[in-house]
Amino acid sequence: MISDSFHIRLRDVTLAMFLAMVFFAGLNVNAQAQTLADSIRDLSPQAIFDKANIQIELKHYHKALDLYQAVNHQDMASGPLYLNMGIAWTQLDSLGLAKYYFLKAADFPSTKSEALQGVDYVNNQLEHNETLLPPLPWDRFFSWIENEIGIHFLVLISIIIINLGVLLFIATWLWPRYRKWIKSPGYGILAIGIILLLLAGFTDYQARRFTRAIQIVRESNVRQKPDSNSEIVSLSYEGYRFRIDRERSQNNPDWYYVRMGNGQYGWIHRNDLKLF
């Protein structure tokens, strides 16, 4: 009969072997990361990108993604970069991440068409198709201002218009005889400038408070409260899109408060999503 002390020794040996495996695996990962860093230290972002493309052709998708991330970390984001990252994740069957990068590539005019084709391909491969309500009119409006006009440009225009209105009021003091002709346009121009400035401020607030996200795990639960035991509001699946409320989420380190594409609201674990 095997004694209890033998079982204890066997357990200790097994635990020690497991910890050793974890330790050496960590050393191997660190060594690989250091090797990658050394191999690209003197390369330009374009050279790293070209090197990653070669890895894609060789079907070394993880190596390619490491190189693409090195370019991305140098703030050299581009449509082709995100498009190729989407292709690599597609080949690795990580469809949520593939959709994420295709959507990022779609923000660049040069790759928008190909990226949207990639999104369609991923959607066809996903096991579950999401229900998407049309964006609310004000969401479309603020998105249009942010992406097409630009908040900083709108602020600049509003300041110029406000200064023009101020100049017209100054003109009424310098040339009192023209006051009745200048005063009303001055009020109108000043009002337009202030409205545009407020619009820019609110658009900036919206952009800071809300952001988009993609689910990157196969299945998740959207809950009524930020608690694993809370009631499940809905099920969500890989590739589903969300609108994150950063303000409501900031006091819950493990959860995001989200609006789903079908209009439902709830809480989802942060590890399940990748934010734009």
Query: What order do you get walking across the sheet with 241-245 strand by strand?
Result: 232-237, 219-223, 265-269, 255-260, 241-245, 210-215, 273-275
Quick one: pLDDT at residue 31? 45
Please state which of the four CATH numbers 3.10.180.10, 3.30.420.40, 1.20.1370.10, 1.25.40.10 is assigned to the domain occupying 43-125. Answer: 1.25.40.10
CATH topology of 43-125 equal to that of 211-275? no
Please state which of the four CATH numbers 3.40.50.720, 3.40.640.10, 2.40.128.20, 2.30.30.40 is assigned to the domain occupying 211-275. Answer: 2.30.30.40
Phi, psi of 234 (to 5 degrees): -160, 160
Can you tell me the distance from the alpha carbon of 246 to that of 40, in angstroms, rounded to the nearest whole number? 36
Distances (CA, A) of 237 to 135, 145, 210, 216, 271: 20, 31, 21, 8, 13
Quick one: pLDDT at residue 139? 82
Quick one: pLDDT at residue 184? 81
User: CA 119: distance to chain centroid?
Assistant: 15
Bridge partners of 244? 211, 258
Quick one: pLDDT at residue 218? 93
Q: What is the largest CA-CA distance in the chain?
A: 115
Can you tell me the distance from the alpha carbon of 72 to that of 49, in angstroms, rounded to the nearest whole number? 10
Cβ-contact 276, 212 below 8 angstroms:
yes
Can you tell me the distance from the alpha carbon of 124 to that of 121, in angstroms, rounded to the nearest whole number? 5
DSSP-derived secondary structure letter, 125: H
Domain ranges for the chain? 43-125, 137-209, 211-275
Per residue of the chain (276 residues), give pLDDT as tens.
444 453 444 455 444 444 444 444 444 434 444 555 555 666 888 999 999 999 999 999 999 999 999 999 888 889 999 999 999 999 999 999 999 999 999 999 999 999 999 999 999 999 888 877 777 788 889 888 988 899 999 999 999 999 998 888 888 777 777 777 877 888 899 999 999 999 999 999 988 999 999 999 999 999 999 999 999 999 999 999 999 999 999 999 999 999 998 889 999 999 999 999
Phi, psi of 264 (to 5 degrees): -80, 150
